[in-house]
Amino acid sequence: MDVKSNCCLCEQPLPPRHRKYCERCSAKASLLWKRQERQGNRGAAYWLDHWLKLTGDLSAARREYNAYMRSYMRAYRLRRRTRRRERNRLEVTGSITGLAFAH
C-alpha cells in the first residue's frame, strides 16, 4: 500500500487525513475529474453498450435500440393518453369523490 504524500494536482505536501488533494485542490477535484471523464468518453455511445453486448454489431445495436425506444415511447404516449381521457371522464361525471349523486 503506497501512501501519496503530495497533492495530485499541485504537488504540495498533503495535510494530515487527506489522501489525494490538499485543502485548496479538493474543492475543484470533482470538477476536474468530471471534465477529464467527459473528454475521455467523447463520441462514445455508452447507451448502446447493452445492445452491443446483445447484437455484437454497432449498427445492429443502434437499430435495436431505436426500435426499442420507438415502441417504448409509443406505449408511453398511449398510456398517457388513456390516463388523461379517463381522468377527464371522471372529472366530468364527478365520480372521483363518489359524492356527485349521493344526495
Interface with Zn ion (CB under 5 A)? 7, 9-10, 22, 25
Which CB, 24 or 79, lies closer to Zn ion? Answer: 24
Question: What would you report as the CA-atom Rg of the chain, rounded to the nearest whole angstrom?
Answer: 28
The Cα angle at residue 64 between residues 62 and 67, in degrees rounded to 5: 110
Contact (Cβ atoms closer than 8 angstroms) between residue 20 and residue 28: no
Least distance to Zn ion, CB of residue 45, Å: 35
Which CB, 9 or 52, lies closer to Zn ion? Answer: 9
Least distance to Zn ion, CB of residue 6, Å: 8
